[in-house]
Every structure is written in C-alpha cells, then in structure tokens.
C-alpha cells in the first residue's frame, strides 16, 4: 500500500478532478481530519450492531502506561461497559473494513 501524506493526496485529488483551487484542497484536508478524528467517550459511544447488545468492533485509546495505548474492543450495552478492556477507554474510532 502506497503511503501518501495529506498534502500530496489533496493535490492529487484536485488535479485529478480539475479543481485546482485552494478551497477544494482545504475541503479535502478537512475531510481527512474528520475521518481520522478520535471520538471522546463522553461525547458518543459506538452504535449497536443491529439487534446485538454489542457495538461494532472499534479501535480505542486507553489510559495505560503501556507502549501501545490502543485496544480492539466493542461496547457492551447490556452491561454498560467496554468489552475485553481492563483499562479505561478514553476515545474510539471506527474501523473501516473493505
């Protein structure tokens, strides 16, 4: 998978679509920032997965002294807690599976 920084991707997007205007480049960058946003748990919890008591699987930031302060988890709406996490979850992001 080719790694491209946001500035390069915005330029490629604008050139590809013939939209070489600064406002289009800024809009692209804003979309990237929104897609990469970590959602605070105080603001919102992940949605339930259909009729299940669990949310979809998400990546979560945790309060931990570990080198890798992230876990894969889901929210358990029945028990009102994060599943498989012994740490305090502070933020979460959707995992886009394609």
Strands 88-94 and 58-63: what pairing? antiparallel
Summarised one tens digit per residue, pLDDT across range 61-83 is 888 766 678 888 899 999 999 98
* pLDDT for the residue 71: 85
More confident position, 55 or 63: 55
Q: What is the pTM of this model?
A: 0.64
Average pLDDT over residues 18-47: 77
Range of the domain at 17: 6-35
Residues 24 and 47 in one domain: no
Give the other-Cβ count within 10 Å of 92's Cβ: 25
Residues 26 and 56 in one domain: no
Flag whether 63 is in a domain.
Answer: yes
């Amino acid at each position: 998978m080719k790694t491209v920084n946001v500035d390069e991707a915005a330029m490629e997007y604008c050139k590809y679509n013939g939209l070489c205007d600064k406002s289009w480049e800024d809009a692209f960058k804003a979309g990237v920032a929104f897609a990469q946003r970590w959602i605070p748990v105080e603001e919102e919890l992940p949605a339930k997965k259909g009729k299940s008591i669990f949310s979809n699987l998400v990546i979560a930031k945790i309060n931990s002294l570990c080198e890798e302060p992230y876990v894969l988890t889901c929210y358990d709406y029945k028990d009102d807690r994060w599943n498989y996490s012994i740490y305090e979850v502070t933020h979460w992001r959707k995992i886009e599976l394609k």
